Amino acid sequence: MASDGTLYAQIESALVARFGVDLHPGNKLPTEDSLIDEYGVSRITVRRALQNLASKGFIVTKRGIGSFVATPALSQPLTALTSFVEDMDAHGLNTTARVLVVEEITAPAHVREALELPLGAKVVRIERVRLAAGQPVSLDETYLPLHLGRLVAQGDLENEPIFDLLEKRHDTPLVEAAYALKAGTADSPTAAALDVDEGSAIFRIERTSFTTGQKPVDYEILHYRADAMTFTMRLPRAGASGDAE
């Protein structure tokens, strides 16, 4: 028989898998009695699972009322170049993408500059909503040089990270990236994609990723819901050396 520890972890995973399917932010979770009947476990096991979900910010419990699905509130350290899927995996969240646009366009000036392309060069533009536990967290615009973009566009963009397609399928290792972050507000299309009110706060991130030889191969504009993501970093003091005494 599975241990209580294994059981409550299984119930946590089963509930998280339902987020964005039949349980959405603000929805009330089934009662403890319903979960006991559904999973055939003890009350203490159900309560442990709910307590863990609450401590991770996945649900909010209101005494005497019940537990409700929370808007994802995630913390992401900016210490290395990682993909959205890798970031969400670190939180134990399943991820998917909703593909909105895949098109070939003449590179706008800012894209041409980021990817170091000549005037009139074509690029592949991919626009996706990134979801964690079924909830929209980020709206991503990705620009790739034409030859590489055409290859990436053939992949399963709903389930395969573009970083994986570049590195594992198309022999394009990513070695570093340049980031620019600033605060912004959601315009109408962004608000609709992220399921927030127009004018809601967002993080706007421009990221250019480089392959070997410092060649830029991936330029992105990422729009993160500010209520769902906190970015953290630890920086040394300029001129500091060793531990303080």
Tell me the CATH number of domain 4-69, given options 1.10.240.10, 1.10.10.10, 3.40.30.10, 3.40.50.720. 1.10.10.10
Q: Residue 5 pLDDT > 80, yes or no?
A: no
| Residue recorded with tokens 């990682």 | 82
Written out in words, the top-level CATH class of the domain with range 74-232 is alpha beta
Q: What is the pLDDT of residues 199-242, one digit of tens each?
A: 999 999 999 999 999 999 999 999 999 888 778 888 788 877 65
**Amino acid (one-letter) located at 51:** Q
Q: What is the pLDDT of residues 159-204, one digit of tens each?
A: 899 999 999 999 999 999 999 999 999 999 999 999 889 999 999 9
The Cα 56–Cα 131 span in angstroms is 17
Provide CATH 1.10.10.10 ranges for the chain: 4-69
Read off the pTM. 0.72
What does the pLDDT read at residue 165?
95
The Cα 135–Cα 55 span in angstroms is 18
